[in-house]
Amino acid sequence: MFWGAILYGHDGSMLPYHLYTTPYETKEQKKEAEVQLVREYQLELAEVEWFNQMGFDHPNPPKLKERKKDRKGGIDWFIYRECILNPLLYPLACNAQVTCPNLLIMEDNAPSHIHQYHDLPRERLGLRKLTWPANLPDLNPIESIWCEMKDRLRERLGIRMTATAICQVVLEEWINYPAERINKYIDSMPLRIEACIKDEGGNGFNY
């Protein structure tokens, strides 16, 4: 699975990406994650204690963050935070916000994207996120890029779609993706929203 983010005026070589490998997580990594979350909780408790000693109420009382015990793999909020948000998306957004103070992060409503544990860290960084319609219309301009990349995969590989070949082609296409096309898709956002409104929030519009 491939993740990437787009930003106006940037070509693919300037933009972050991540290629998830499978399995997404080993048993050892799951255990390490549990230890990490307990450690984070203990640090938050220490912060609360410091606030109390200074005579202040802590604005966000901590609670132990947990992962679903019965999860069967896949990308959950923790993997998304560790692989995407903290190392890639938030640094990109914070740097861009210096020259674009009205910047909004755009993500769909995938469960790993909208988990409550993401809200406070994002707010502490001063980053805002676009409210997304409940029925997931394909408003994000990056969806057009994914369609193009799928076409390029078929053109370049045909039936020779091994995992290794797919990874190589996807990375090449992403790194060489031109800023002009990214700008074009981002500029189309007002028309996409208008088309979505005309479709009463549905996903049946074409743009």
Residue 14 pLDDT more than 70? yes
Choosing among 3.40.1390.10, 3.30.420.10, 3.90.180.10, 3.10.300.10, the CATH entry for 2-24+72-199 is: 3.30.420.10
Residue 63 pLDDT more than 90? no
Mark residue 124 as left, alpha or beta (left: phi above 0; alpha: psi -120 to 50; beta: remaining).
Answer: alpha
* Residues in contact with 66: Cβ distance below 8 Å, sequence separation at least 6, in sequence order: 37
pLDDT in tens, 133-164: 776 667 888 989 999 999 999 999 887 788 88
Residue 207 pLDDT more than 70? no
pLDDT in tens, 157-188: 887 788 889 999 999 999 999 999 999 999 99
3-state secondary structure of 17: strand
Least confident of 33-37, 50-54, 85-89, 182-186: 50-54
pLDDT at 137: 62
- Bigger pLDDT: 206 vs 26: 26
2, amino acid identity: F
Q: Does the pTM of the predicted model rise above 0.85?
A: yes
Beta bridge partners of 3: 18
- CA proximity to 17, closest of 204, 146, 126, 156: 146
The Cα-based distances of 103 to 32, 34, 90, 129, 177 in angstroms read: 34, 33, 12, 9, 22
- How confident is residue 206, by pLDDT bands cut at 50, 70 and 90? low
The percent of residues in the chain predicted with pLDDT above 90, rounded, is 60
Residue 205 pLDDT more than 70? no
Rg of the chain (C-alpha set): 20
Greatest CA separation for the chain: 67
Element (H, E) at 19: strand 17-19
pLDDT in tens, 83-125: 999 999 999 999 999 999 999 999 988 899 999 999 999 999 9
Mean pLDDT of the chain: 89
175, amino acid identity: I
